[in-house]
């Protein structure tokens, strides 16, 4: 018999790393025979996607008739609200960001394990007082049924994409745009920072030869077969190749990998 799994997240819009993580997690749990319920802000296209798939989404725990078997918590506030509602239900907590106030560590006796998606997130958990034997690295993932390979890359790249909610004229976008101009690359930008939100990036990524991204967005671009340069507002990292992949994986292709100035 499947489990009733309550997944918490502070929001479901706009699409971001944790929002898409929750969507993919809920759909996979459902596919494996479990009953996921998402507790979050209930508006936006991703909430509608989940409802269309038969997954309940609610912003009021009182509407949930049966107690969950386990709580899969993301973000400080909604995780603790769920644990106040069901204080004896076992829970896990996943930290996705090492600086965000929303990702500070909830402390509660029912949380059996705290996970970080990168080494720097693990350090945050430890700094927040979680015992080392209750922490673990839970690497990010990509739904390979959703992100399928594009045709082989051309001999010379033609089109590039900045794939980031943080891309705008005040962040890393001008530096990337200038680099692409010098290289003769046509550049597009996708993300909340420029008001171009896509809920199905798997459809867009196949159109680009080079993608500038980090973390889950970078992994999605890799899964499609684009050449990925790690880059975001905090700096730039290497192009991901088979030679450096294993070293970048525990960094979540994220903050710690962006070592060089823009």
pLDDT digits (tens, 9 = 90+) for 168-215: 999 999 999 999 999 999 999 999 999 998 888 999 999 999 999 999
> Residue-wise over 210-227: b if at least 16 C-beta within 10 A, else e?
bbbbbbbbbbbbbbbbbb
Check whether 72 has a pLDDT greater than 90.
Answer: yes
Which of 256, 3, 21 has its CA nearest to residue 138?
A: 21
Does 22 have pLDDT greater than 90?
yes
* Predicted local distance difference test score (pLDDT) of residue 45: 85
Is the fold of 4-137 the same as that of 159-257?
A: yes
pLDDT of residue 69: 98
Please compute the mean of the pLDDT values over residues 110-120 and round it to a whole number.
97
* pLDDT for the residue 200: 86
pLDDT at 60 over 90: yes
Determine the average pLDDT of the residues in 90-116.
97
CATH pick for 4-137 out of 3.40.1170.60, 3.40.50.970, 3.40.50.2300, 3.40.50.11930: 3.40.50.11930
Q: What pLDDT score was predicted for residue 198?
A: 87
For the chain, the domains span 4-137, 159-257
First to last CA, the chain: 51
Can you give the pLDDT at residue 158? 97
Residues 238-255: pLDDT tens digits?
Answer: 999 999 999 999 999 999
Q: Is the pLDDT of residue 225 over 80?
A: yes
What pTM does this model have?
0.92
CATH fold of 159-257, please? Rossmann fold (3.40.50)
Q: What is the mean pLDDT of residues 59-87?
A: 96
Query: 54 in the Ramachandran plot: left (φ > 0), alpha (ψ -120 to 50) or beta?
Result: left
**Does the pLDDT of residue 1 top 90, yes or no?**
no
Could you identify the residue written with the tokens 């969507």?
23
Q: Answer for the pair 238, 230: CB distance below 8 angstroms, yes or no.
A: yes
What gap in Å lies between CA 152 and CA 61, rounded to an integer?
47
Closest Cα partner for 6 from 88, 83, 100? 83
Identify the residue whose tokens are 């500070």: 104
Residue pair 250/256 in contact (Cβ under 8 Å)? The answer is no
Residue 45 Cα distances to 42, 166, 200, 218, 242, angstroms: 10, 20, 10, 22, 35
Q: How confident is the model at residue 10 (pLDDT cuts 50, 70, 90)?
A: very high
Which 3 state secondary structure label does DSSP give 210? strand
The percent of residues above 90 in pLDDT, for the chain, comes to 92
Please state, rounded to an integer, the average pLDDT across all residues of the chain: 95
For residue 110, the model assigns a pLDDT of 98
What's the farthest any 2 CA atoms get from each other in the chain?
59
């Amino acid at each position: 018999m499947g489990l009733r799994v309550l997944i918490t997240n502070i929001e479901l819009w706009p699409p971001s790393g944790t929002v898409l993580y929750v969507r993919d997690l809920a759909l996979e749990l459902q596919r494996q025979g479990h009953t996921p319920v998402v507790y979050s802000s209930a508006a936006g296209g991703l909430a509608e996607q989940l409802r269309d798939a038969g997954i309940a989404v609610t912003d009021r725990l009182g509407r949930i008739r049966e107690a969950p078997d386990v709580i899969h918590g993301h973000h400080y506030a909604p995780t603790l609200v769920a644990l106040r509602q069901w204080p004896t239900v076992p829970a896990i907590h996943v930290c996705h960001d090492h600086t965000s106030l929303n990702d500070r560590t909830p402390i509660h006796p029912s949380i059996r394990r705290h996970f970080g998606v990168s080494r720097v997130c693990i350090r945050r958990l430890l700094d927040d007082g979680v015992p080392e034997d209750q922490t673990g690295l839970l690497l990010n993932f990509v739904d390979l049924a959703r992100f399928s390979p594009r045709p082989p890359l051309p001999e010379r790249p033609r089109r590039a994409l900045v794939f980031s909610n943080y891309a705008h004229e005040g962040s890393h976008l001008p530096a990337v745009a200038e680099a692409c101009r010098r290289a003769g690359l046509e550049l597009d930008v996708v993300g909340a920072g420029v008001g171009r939100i896509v809920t199905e990036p798997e459809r867009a990524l196949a159109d680009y030869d080079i993608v500038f991204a980090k973390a889950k967005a970078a992994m999605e671009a890799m899964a499609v077969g684009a050449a990925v340069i790690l880059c975001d507002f905090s700096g730039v990292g290497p192009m991901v190749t088979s030679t450096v992949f294993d070293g970048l994986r525990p960094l979540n292709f994220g903050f710690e990998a962006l070592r060089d100035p823009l």
